[in-house]
Amino acid sequence: MLKVAGVDKAYGRGGLLAKEKQQVLRNVSFECESGECLGIIGESGSGKSTLGRLILGMEWPDRGTILFEGQNVGDRKVRLGSMSAVFQDYTSSINPFFTVEQAIAEPLEALRRTKADREGKVAHLLQAVGLNASYKSKYAHELSGGEAQRVCIARALATDPSFLLLDEAISSLDVSVQMQVLELLKELKDVYQMSYVFITHDIQAAAYICDRIVIFHEGQVEEIVPAKHLKDVQSPYARRLLRHIITF
């Protein structure tokens, strides 16, 4: 499904033209299998979100390759309709001038779907994420955080992707709402037969939803472990990171 191999990424210190480089990712390699939820956890500044942008083709690696179904994600045609994403900031993810219906239908317009097709799809997706038809005419400012993130999830599913990247998708939500969204994501993954990459600093959320977990540290893969075997991590850093919720 997704293969990341030997990826490096650096940015200029102080701007694009700066001569001095800050290395953000170093020789990152892993795979996400079809139907798998792969978690990527690490502290703030560890390079997780940079990796997410590279996976989505929003930026390019300095070295290495990122392949989706054997093809380079740098090719927009590879990503179109097959890869989608949900980000942390749901408030800026929805155009404030769009209704919920328009926001969800936006990706379908890019694929030139008919109006009837778009309307039917929006109705189906609203139901899938637990929102009734009355939400179609609402605007972003009329939604709670949980409702807005559900709309973002619905929009991400609009093109029937086989892969969904979730970058801190629950971290801005209240704790009670976080669990509701995690349950929704687990259900939708099975219904739509998708693969997830779940980027988060929340170890408990990753353990709950993921099949395997990549522990990330200073731009490198520290360790990869099945979620059910988190207590068996080997590296000193991974043990320190997990110590506050797991008794070794």
Q: Is 72 left (phi over 0), alpha (psi -120 to 50) or beta?
A: beta
Instruction: Work out the average pLDDT over 20-37.
Output: 93
Of 8, 2, 1, the C-alpha closest to 66 is 2
CA distance 190 to 66: 25
Structure confidence at residue 248 (pLDDT) = 38
Better pLDDT: 37 or 192: 37
Instruction: Work out the average pLDDT over 133-146.
Output: 92
Angle between helices 100-110 and 115-128 (to 10 degrees): 120
Instruction: Work out the average pLDDT over 17-39.
Output: 89
Is the confidence at residue 137, as pLDDT, over 90? yes
Structure tokens that stand for 185 in this block? 């994501």
CA distance 1 to 210: 16
CA distance 176 to 181: 9
For 44-57, give one letter per residue: b (16+ CB within 10 A) or e: eebbbbbbbebbbb
Structure confidence at residue 15 (pLDDT) = 59
Structure confidence at residue 245 (pLDDT) = 54
Reported confidence tier of residue 14, pLDDT bands at 50, 70, 90:
low
Reported confidence tier of residue 17, pLDDT bands at 50, 70, 90:
low
Q: Which amino acid is it at 176?
A: S
CB 210 within 8 A of CB 203: no
Instruction: Work out the average pLDDT over 134-139.
Output: 94
Is the confidence at residue 21, as pLDDT, over 90? no
Instruction: Work out the average pLDDT over 161-165.
Output: 94
pLDDT above 90 covers a percentage of the chain that reads: 48
Is the confidence at residue 142, as pLDDT, over 50? yes
**For the whole model, what pTM was predicted?**
0.87
Structure confidence at residue 247 (pLDDT) = 42
Instruction: Work out the average pLDDT over 165-186.
Output: 88
